[in-house]
Structure 1
């Protein structure tokens, strides 16, 4: 019963964090509020929830990574693939070496393999933490795409390095050739598993749907289960379940273009995924906060025994590690950009010279999160000879400190660094949207006119002619508005904003009337819900524009 109460308290903390984030001054990041509330829950219940890393990875990461892979803009992901791979692979290896030697130098009692394992698990950025920080910061779209792409792909390289560092600590041996082959298998097989499982589920679902039909909620449930299937399939063959979940999400975005989902399914599914994303994001950071009190107490004991560590000395080393990670990221980004510029000049391409603020912003955007926490908790409890694994609790504490410091640094530095920052231009998204809208509206006009011709000369020819003309004129007016807006006239934009405001005012009046009739029992509650849903859908469309 107590476990149920703790879970309910965690969900309540997630809800409360949303309100506290809006009430507190200075823009306190939501993850930090949730971590603090988790520590409070741990104090109230006298202990935190036992964090089982395998269960944590299975329950939390697949749906969140699947959703991130689904929604990340694919054009930006593939356009900047070179930069993303440099960060997701090269930067991780650079960080493992640099941060590993740094930690061994700061704390000599921490064995070098354990220091490398700690560096490997704090090297990857966390897509969930990145999204949590950037959701309230106006990040330039192209920079955001690069940061998101990096955080989605760098987990495989970090976890492979972590696995081999732990193996070196356990056995005292390490093979670069074996590590390289393992990395290739983990990454490529994981991506293949995600693509294959998603494609197989989608094709099977489409076949069964055409053959036998289905209930309304079934496609949403299948969609929710897809990331778990991809993750488990990859883990079963020894590949990266994390990359499988990401690949499944990217594949699903292309499967969706087949148009198999109904409009009502897409609407309900988006609502469910948004709710699930908010809840899981919050619970992950609350869980982290619940672990911190016990971790801090146990980490005071040195790996080799003896007197307890000084808490301030530990805090200083944790801060040094966090700042060292920022410095390593800065060096890598700066060198990488310089080499890219030199290569562009050699090829005679147009060169964009980034300001130093862009390099600093990219450096501070390396936010760590619950993925780091879950990974470091998988450190073994004991060596093969039965002795305790050296520095386990210390490594967990340092990883926890890196998470908190990276969140603090990003929330403080990024808003100032990103203000007025210039980055390479995106493809003109507004023109692309106008072209797509115009093509869709023209196709609609043609379809309406063809349908009207089918009823010409029939018994209700006049009725169909009037209905066809009315609908076609609505679409022609919309097409004319799109074409005028594409000409760039400022008056057209102002007119569209004014029309939007008037339509929203009219919809509010409709809603108020329906609610009043429902309160007076002049219409049934079923009728009121139906009409309100129609009004809400129309209003949602205008608020998105």
Structure 2
């Protein structure tokens, strides 16, 4: 382990460099990370990397899902619940069926069970890839909400398909009623366990004498506890983490202090940043292991099979997106739907093309056992691994690089939020100041007469209430001036720190205040 430690340190440095390069050239970083991993894998002397599936499922997946469930808007998730659940379950099943039929027909030696196994592996799109790409282009809020919501659930449905197919391949039989009961338990048991453990964690935060550091550590432990608890009783750990994360996210103001919320955001952003970087770099680095067992099939036929399955995935998702729009237009005549307008071809095209595959697919493929219970070699394992790699690489490169261009060409407008974000923010800010002023006068009139600082806050809110929308927006020039003043104040404090009778902790408290003030002006 110590011999390869410098390699892993250099790997993290390479990830940072690649992500900074991706930001500079405005390319989604998952694309460059996979390519960088591929390039590094060809360097002579690089240690052979063996990725354990448990490493991704247990170490990487729970915190990534948990952070995503904290970030998503529950309001948007509920608003688009029908299309999100249809993409996360029905579309995943349809995609897996399409892959199974095509693989069974075109790939020699592939039974329907093996086809479903491959379909369960490659059917879920990757949320990180789509999220990284959408940062470079402006899309209607509904599309990002649908993609984020789908990604929280589709991993669970695809892994359920994968498990059932794995049993069918190993035993040679598929018992429908047992599968139905198992599916029901995995879904409802996973959600129930996630909510139960999340509720317990919430009470621990609230009633134990925790401070900021222990709160943050507890949030880091939470996704692992939820995932392992659910998996131990053979329910869906993915759905458990998502449901528990959504519950805790909704009630975060009830059990976390403001300091815990602020500092935990910084910790989680850094953790997710490095985890996402590692998983995409590992995909590229795993190429030597993936290609090692392809002697029987041959590299070029295997590439052809991978490209064929990729085409099936793309077509199936676009067809599903179009079908979802048509179904919504029909359903609006009978039930209330979130959007009764006709979105045309733009919406299904963007949703259909946002189907990049990622680390969950690779982890599922790697978790296929080398041997069956009777000692026989698991059929087509190496080919399934390679096809999965080709699918991930092709969708990241083809769809990942062209999706921003497609979105720009389509010139999509947001039908839900017509008011610009800055205007909406400032309008709500004025109303918030007005409400605070009303409460201060109504409930704390006596203190307002005697406390100068409260009087200063009241005057600030009164000025905010009177200002127009354009007046309270800080221009770029005014922000630069304010930052310059803050830097001068930091220099002044540094000089004061040389005085022997001034406690340096007091100086640091003032420096922290200036840092918070500089962060605050980014919101103005």
TM-score above 0.5: yes
Deviation at 1:66? Answer: 0.5
Q: Does the aligned pair in 1 maintain the 2:140–2:415 contact within 8 Å?
A: no
Partner of 1:496: helix, strand, or coil?
coil
SS at match of 1:385: coil
Give 2:305's aligned residue.
Answer: 317
In the TM superposition, residue 479 of structure 1 has moved relative to its aligned partner by 2.4
SS at match of 2:212: coil
Alignment equivalent of 1:276, drawn from 266, 271, 278: 271
Residue 159 of structure 1, CA deviation: 0.8
Aligned to 2:12: 11
Paired with 2:514 and 2:50, the residues of 1 have a C-alpha distance of 46
Q: Is 1:480 the counterpart of 2:466 in the alignment?
A: yes
The offset of 1:505, in angstroms, is 1.5
Q: How does 1:178-257 map to 2 (within 5 A)?
A: 178-209=178-209, 214-257=210-253
Gaps of 5+ in 2: none
Shift of 1:345: 3.7
Correspondences of 1:61-100 after superposition (within 5 Å): 61-100=61-100
CA spacing shift, 1:450–1:336, aligned 2, 3 Å: closer
When residues 537 and 44 of structure 1 are mapped into structure 2, their CA distance, relative to the original with a 3 A threshold, is farther
* Structure 2 CA distance for aligned equivalents of residues 408 and 396 of structure 1: 18
In structure 2, C-alpha distance between the alignment counterparts of 1:328 and 1:503, rounded to whole Å: 49
Aligned-partner Cα distance in 1 for 2:443–2:454:
8
1:265 paired to 2:257: no
Q: Does 2:437 align with 1:445?
A: yes
Match in the other structure for 1:508: 484
Contact in 1 for aligned 2:195/2:247 (Cα 8 Å): yes
Secondary structure of 2:397's match? helix
Correspondence for 2:388: 399
Give the Å deviation of 1:365: 0.4
CA distance in 2, matches of 1:406, 1:255: 37
How far, CA to CA, are the matches of 2:295 and 2:516 in structure 1? 56
Q: Map 1:377-416 onto structure 2 (within 5 A).
A: 377-416=366-405
Q: Partners in 2 of 1:179 and 1:422 — Cα distance?
A: 44
What's the CA shift string for 1:19-53, capped at 9, x where partnerless? Answer: 22135x5x443112212332344445443332111
d(CA) in 1 for partners of 2:250, 2:494? 43
Q: Secondary structure at the match of 2:292?
A: helix
CA distance in 2, matches of 1:137, 1:188: 37
Contact 2:31 2:400 in 1 (8 A): no
**Within 2, Cα distance between the matches of 1:472 and 1:195?**
42
Counterpart CA distance in 2 for 1:354 and 1:250 is: 29
Number of the residue aligned with 1:170: 170
What does residue range 271-420 of structure 1 map to in structure 2 within 5 Å?
271-302=266-297, 309=298, 311-345=299-333, 351-419=340-408, 420=411
Structure 2 Cα separation of the partners of residues 360 and 499 of structure 1? 37
Q: Using a 3 Å threshold, how does the CA distance of structure 1 residues 101 and 412 change in structure 2: closer, same or farther?
A: same
Which whole-Å CA distance do the structure 2 matches of 1:182 and 1:6 have between them? 43
What corresponds to 1:421 in structure 2? 412
Corresponding residue for residue 473 of structure 2: 497
TM-score (norm 1): 0.87
Secondary structure of 2:293's match? helix
Q: Quick check: 1:364–1:406 contact (8 Å CA) kept in 2?
A: no
**Aligned residue in 1 for 2:522:** 543
Structure 1: gaps spanning 5 or more residues: 303-308, 486-492
Aligned 8 A contact 1:29 1:411 in 2: yes
Deviation at 1:402, TM superposition (A): 0.8
Query: For structure 1, which segment, 113-122 or 529-538, has the greater mean C-alpha deviation from structure 2 after superposition?
Result: 529-538
Residue by residue over 1:269-302, the C-alpha shift from the partner in whole angstroms, topping out at 9 and shown as x without a partner, is 1111110110000011111111112212323433
Q: CA deviation at 1:514?
A: 1.6
Contact 1:515 1:528 in 2 (8 A): no
Q: Cα–Cα, structure 1 residues 75 and 294, in superposed 2: closer, same or farther, change >3 Å?
A: same
Distance 1:428 1:74 in 2: 21
After the TM superposition, which of the residue ranges 447-456 and 68-77 deviates more from structure 2? Answer: 447-456
Match of 1:151 in 2: 151
Deviation at 1:440, TM superposition (A): 3.8
User: Quick one: distance in 2 between partners of 1:295 and 1:467?
Assistant: 66
Structure 1 residues 93-102 or 336-345, which shifts more?
336-345
- TM-score, length-scaled by structure 2: 0.91
CA distance in 2 between partners of 1:73 and 1:44 (Å): 46
CA distance in 2, matches of 1:44, 1:246: 41
1:99-155 CA-to-partner distances (Å, cap 9, x unmatched) read 111122221223332222011111112223332332333232111100111111112
Give deviations 1:366-413, integer Å, cap 9, x for gaps: 121101100111111112331211110110111111111111222233
Deviation of 1:526 after TM superposition, in Å, equals 4.6
Specify the SS of the correspondent of 2:208: helix
- Higher deviation after alignment, 73-82 or 262-271: 262-271
CA distance in 2, matches of 1:226, 1:427: 38
